[in-house]
Structure 1
Amino acid sequence: MSLKLDRRKKYTRNVLKESFMKRMKEKPLSTITITEVCEAADINRSTFYSHYKDLYDLLYQIEDGIIEDMNQTLSAYNYTKDDEAIQMTEKLLQYLAENRESCQILFSEHGDPNFQKKVMVLAHTHLLNSLMADSNNIPFYSEYVSLYIANGSIHIVQHWLKNGVKESPKEMAELITKLANKGLSAFQ
Structure 2
Amino acid sequence: MDRRKQYTRMVLKESLLKLLQDKSISSITIKEICETADINRSTFYAHYANQYELLEAIEEEFIEDLTVTLGQYNFSKEDEALQMTEKLFEYLAEKSRICHTLLGENTDMYFLKKGMVITHEFIFKNWITDSRIDQETYEYINIFLVSGSIHVIKNWLENGMEKTPGEMAGVLYNFINRGLSGVQ
Matched, 1:16 2:12: yes
Specify the alignment match of 2:116 in structure 1: 120
Quick check: 1:127–1:146 contact (8 Å CA) kept in 2? no
Cα distance, 1:131 vs structure 2: 4.4
Deviation track 1:39-60 (CA, whole Å, cap 9, x = no partner) reads: 1111111111121121111100
Give yes or no for the alignment of 1:48 onto 2:44: yes
2:80 counterpart of 1:77: no
Q: Tell me, in whole angstroms, the C-alpha distance in 1 between the residues paired with 2:82 and 2:89.
A: 10
User: In 2 relative to 1, CA 141–72 (structure 1 residues): closer, same or farther, beyond 3 Å?
Assistant: farther
1:78 to partner: Cα distance: 2.6
Q: 1:143 aligns to what?
A: 139
Equivalent position amino acid for 2:42 in 1: S
Contact 2:174–2:183, Cα closer than 8 Å, also in 1: no
Equivalent-residue separation in structure 1 for 2:117 and 2:78 (angstroms)? 22
Question: What does residue 27 of structure 1 align with?
Answer: 23
Give 3-state SS (helix, strand or coil) of 1:26's partner.
Answer: coil
Q: Which structure features the higher share of helix residues?
A: 1
Once the two structures are TM-superposed, the CA of residue 164 in structure 1 deviates from its matched residue by 1.0
**DSSP 3-state at the match of 2:58:** helix
Question: Does the CA contact (< 8 Å) of 1:24 and 1:111 recur in 2?
Answer: yes
Give the TM-score normalised by structure 2.
0.88
Q: How much identity, in percent, do the aligned residues show?
A: 47
Maintained 8 Å contact 2:174/2:182: yes
Q: How far is 1:37 from its partner?
A: 0.7
Moved over 4 A (4+): 125-128
**SS at 1:11 equivalent:** helix
Alignment equivalent of 2:172, drawn from 173, 176, 183: 176
Any gaps of 5 or more consecutive residues in structure 1?
Answer: none
Change (3 A) 1:128 1:81: closer
Contact 1:74–1:88 under 8 Å retained in 2: yes
What do you get for the CA RMSD once the two structures are aligned?
Answer: 2.0
CA drift of 1:114 comes to 2.2
Change (3 A) 1:145 1:127: farther
Alignment of 1:155-170 (within 5 A): 155-170=151-166
Describe the shift of the 1:173–1:164 C-alpha distance in structure 2 as closer, same or farther (beyond 3 A).
same
Letter in 2 for 1:123: T
The count of corresponding residues between Structure 1 and Structure 2 is 182
Q: Is the 8 A contact 1:128 1:143 kept in 2?
A: no
Q: Give the conservation status (yes or no) of the 8 Å contact 2:84–2:122.
A: no
- Partner Cα distance (2:74, 2:144) in 1: 21
Q: More deviation in 13-22 or 114-123?
A: 114-123
Mean CA deviation greater in 115-124 or 34-43: 115-124
